[in-house]
Amino acid sequence: MVARRRMMVSTGLAALVLAGGAVVGCGTSGNGQSASQAASSSAKGEASAIPKGQTITVWSWQTGPELQDVKQIAAQWAKAHGDKVIVVDQSSNPKGFQFYATAARTGKGPDVVFGMPHDNNGVFAEEGLMSPVPAGVINTSLYAPNTIDAVKVNGTIYSVPVSVQVAAVYYNKKLVPQPPTTWAQFAKDATAHGFMYDQANLYFDYALIGGYGGYVFKDTNGTLDPNNIGLDTPGAVQAYTLMRDMVAKYHWMTPSTNGSIAKAEFLAGKIGMYVSGPWDTADIEKAKIDFGVTPWPTLPNGKHATPFLGVITAFVNKESKTQAADWSLVQALTSAQAQEMYFRDSQQIPALLSVQKSAPVQSSPTFKAFVEQLRYAVPMPNIPQMQAVWQAMSILQNIIGGKVSPEQGGKDFVQNVQKGIMAQGS
């Protein structure tokens, strides 16, 4: 998981972009209105507002069925507005997300980016590669507060949420018929039937660290302070102690247990529980495991675990010359109808609360559980200094293996992060 936040605009522009959210692609919305009907009705009020004949380029880091949905929505939007949209699949670009930054710096970037994880926002926004989201484009009350926090940089919203990701507990119903909700029951089930996860990975460990009161960077009124690192607090040390106990006391794992081993053991039916995200659901289904998903149990301190929240987003290049049209298109690509399509076709957890509460999501025990876990999720830090944290997390392996104490490991972790930040020059 290595690397890997509103500004006022004229009333006219706000009116332009508001209309875009009603435009969707092929398929039917929750109220039975087709995409073409929605596009047609919204286009009537927009036809003279957004110039016709423009060409908008979208780079997508989502692929497969979701990419096809994006292309359909974009084509319908273009038809309704008299513009042209070119959607380019960047999901296999060997340079990854940084390819956007490189291109944008030289004026060769796209107008719109779709499918970008929110933890890239900080770097791109601070470099001036993203337009702040104009007033009227996003209604923050339609999302969970933690989702909105994720797309802010220093209190300003820079991207629009498309879907969300979080890790929870998969369990084998044959071995663990009832999912544990308390730590006592969880420990009993894990000891009897096995439990594994990618333990030396901060992405998964933060569920414990945050649950015990630790933190990565202190959040002060929406601003993350890279000078206030909470990975050596008493709470963080308690979490490290629990992680070490999973190996030395409970013997659920060995220091060499990684994500691949944990997943393989679960797919083989050898362990009762495994922590991962919705991306593993398809493989577990293929393995014909009778499984369920449940939020983390309450921790030994009685608090809820706090896994990292990831948000997949859409945003506009600050240098784009078609800003009004860009934001209208972004609204179409992130609308409720669009998110319904992404869930239906690609099992992407919707970012909008209304779609999370919809029948298709709630009728799936698997995704209903992931949505429940979102309540306690904490946005993965998105400031540039987070890169130093990912680079320093190798200390977790030493803590788990008993090479350093949890207390010393916490101190080393923070010191290494501080050194990394200094090396970044940030």
Q: Where in the chain is the domain with CATH 3.40.190.10?
A: 11-165+309-378, 168-308+382-424
Cβ contacts of 179 within 8 Å, gap of 6 or more: 169, 171, 292, 294
Distance CA 220, CA 238 (A): 24
Indicate the range of 26-30, 72-76, 131-135, 253-257 predicted with least confidence: 26-30
Phi–psi pair at 94, nearest 5 degrees: -60, -20
Beta strands of 295-355 (E only): which ranges? Answer: 308-316, 349-350
Nearest to 110 by CA among 299, 319, 295: 319
Q: What percent of the chain has pLDDT over 70?
A: 88
Cβ neighbours of residue 75 closer than 8 Å, sequence gap 6 or more: 25, 85
Which of 205, 233, 229 is closest to 378 using CA atoms? 205
CA 244 to chain centroid: 28
For 356-381, write each residue's pLDDT tens digit.
999 999 999 999 999 999 999 999 99
pLDDT of 15 reads 28
Residue 6 pLDDT > 90, yes or no? no
Average model confidence (pLDDT) across the chain = 90
What are the percentages of helix, strand and coil residues in the chain, rounded to 5?
45, 15, 40
CA distances from 54 to 18, 22, 176 (A): 19, 20, 57
**CA proximity to 351, closest of 330, 381, 382:** 330
pLDDT of residue 68: 98
**Tell me, what's the pLDDT at 87?**
99
Higher pLDDT, 36 or 194: 194
The pLDDT tens digits for 103-153 are 999 999 999 999 999 999 999 999 999 999 999 999 999 999 999 999 999
- Whether the pLDDT of residue 23 is over 50: the answer is no
Domain 168-308+382-424: state its class: alpha beta
Using DSSP, state whether 327 is helix, strand or coil: helix
Kindly write down the DSSP assignment for every residue of 295-310, as one continuous string: PPPPPTTSPPP-PEEE
Per-residue model confidence (pLDDT) at position 425 = 82
- Across 351-364, b (16+ Cβ under 10 Å) vs e yields bbbebbebeebeeb
Distance CA 314, CA 320 (A): 14
Structure tokens at 244: 């070490």
pLDDT of residue 426: 62
| This prediction's pTM | 0.88
Give the distance from CA 42 to its chain's centroid.
30
Classified by CATH at the fold level, domain 11-165+309-378 comes out as D-Maltodextrin-Binding Protein; domain 2 (3.40.190)
**Per residue in 302-345, pLDDT tens?**
999 999 999 999 999 999 999 999 999 999 999 999 999 999 99
**Stretch 254-272: mean pLDDT:** 98
Per-residue pLDDT band for 412 (boundaries 50, 70, 90) equals: very high
